[in-house]
Chain A
């Protein structure tokens, strides 16, 4: 069964000045799947992730070649507005980065900056998003309190709720659990599993077990190249490339 891919990159090259950071990456992601990007530090996996909401554009001296499409549309075309793209492609960062605002205003932020200000609508969307991020029960009585009063794990789920509030269809996660304790990590992982039914998720992770637990597909990056991309089960049990084999079994990285 092949559907139209949700996300597609064709022969993408990316340069930081003279440094060739991504080398001819071709890959496609099906809707409502979780794709894990793995590989040693500096292999290009985070850079690849940031292609899809054009966060790389903020880095001076960057050059991108090739074709990146979401829902069949070139996201680097001149006619596309970056803020519209980022509404559709949400992102969760490595370190929880709530704004110095109340819990409620953190989740409402994406709505407000996109001109959605109607009070009852905002309230409803904030609640839905917090429920989706499995945080509602813990914060419903203190929505006016500062987001900084939450624990690290709660803050990260708040950031997920914040990303979900503007109803993206793609969720990019850059090592979302690497700064969290094991219990918070497992909560985030459960959440990723549940969110799959509504979103297409790409997650960068250093944690092999995590990639194995949460993802359908896994892509192994090494020195800017996509070495292998296949079903997660295949990557972890029967990889075709010896470098993938030695990385997933922990012989380097």
Chain B
């Protein structure tokens, strides 16, 4: 076989495999869209569930997920970015730095149900937050933390040292250099990572299971110490352990579609924001 022919065959194999990946994604989307699309209307998005969750809407679950996402990011974003800055800009290569990095990687590998149990033990019971938005947000934040740290670190690694040296040579301190030169360059990548971890957090079920999620709660929360419904848990409930699983099938597909659209929109937003920010960095 000539090497030109081999080249062609290899090329086509790679191409078909890549297409396969896309195909699977579209298959999943198609599956959910076809079954959930007719559910999607204003009433579904803005009313409470009714009749054993076989009718009505999913409004409280949407609101709950939004609260949990916002709460977890309020906690994980500043902490993770600061930890990433510390690891990359302040520590020299030492056993301590390697240890911190290894532990961060390990944290990312812990199964989400373990985060859920830990969150219940620490936030719900020990700190007495109870089943609450606060406990759930902190638990989800812990889950997102290693991702935010990792993304921040990667964004900082990608920045050429000549920017740092140039700033330090002008008498700037490390903090000034990081804040005025390095962070603005790194921000587009950090924000992208942030939004991707929001996608991850909004779909997690296990960490909220014992810390915040309500089975059925047709009202909105009044404080961060209230329980809420959440999209992934609601989906789990009405498709497996509801009172009338078969009758709430449509509701389940509708919920799944809303969740998928939510993540999809976030990803698109991440892209747009990254482009906008990289442009702004150059112009400003």
Considering the chains assembled together, what is the distance between the CA atoms of A98 and B165 in angstroms?
11
8 Å CB contact of B184 from A97, A100, A109: A100
Residues of B within 8 A of A (CB): 92-93, 160, 162-163, 165-173, 176, 180-181, 184-185, 281-284
Contact yes or no, A55 B168, CB < 8 A: yes
Contact yes or no, A114 B171, CB < 8 A: yes
Smallest CB separation, A66 vs chain B (Å) = 22
State which residues 109-136 of A face B: CB under 8 Å.
109-110, 112-114
Considering the chains assembled together, what is the distance between the CA atoms of A55 and B172 in angstroms?
12
Q: Which 8 residue pairs are nearest across A and B when measured between Cβ atoms?
A: A110-B170, A97-B162, A113-B172, A91-B169, A87-B171, A86-B171, A83-B171, A97-B166
Contact yes or no, A163 B170, CB < 8 A: yes
Contact yes or no, B172 A93, CB < 8 A: no
Total interface residues on A, using CB and 8 Å?
A: 31
Contact yes or no, A60 B180, CB < 8 A: no
- Contacts A60-B93, A113-B176 given; does A55 touch B165 at CB 8 Å: yes
How many Cβ-Cβ contacts under 8 Å join chain A to chain B? 76
Considering the chains assembled together, what is the distance between the CA atoms of A130 and B200 in angstroms?
49
Q: Which residue of B lies closest to A101 (CB)?
A: B284
Smallest CB separation, A204 vs chain B (Å) = 14
**7 pairs, A vs B, C-beta closer than 8 Å:** A87-B171, A90-B170, A98-B166, A99-B181, A100-B281, A109-B172, A110-B170
Q: Which residue of B lies closest to A109 (CB)?
A: B170
Task: Tell me if A58 is interfacial: C-beta within 8 Å of chain B.
Answer: yes
Q: Which residue of A lies closest to B169 (CB)?
A: A91
Considering the chains assembled together, what is the distance between the CA atoms of A162 and B93 in angstroms?
31
Task: Tell me if A14 is interfacial: C-beta within 8 Å of chain B.
Answer: no
| A residues less than 8 Å from B173 (CB atoms) | 83, 113
Contact yes or no, A93 B166, CB < 8 A: yes
State which residues 128-148 of A face B: CB under 8 Å.
145-146, 148
Considering the chains assembled together, what is the distance between the CA atoms of A102 and B171 in angstroms?
20
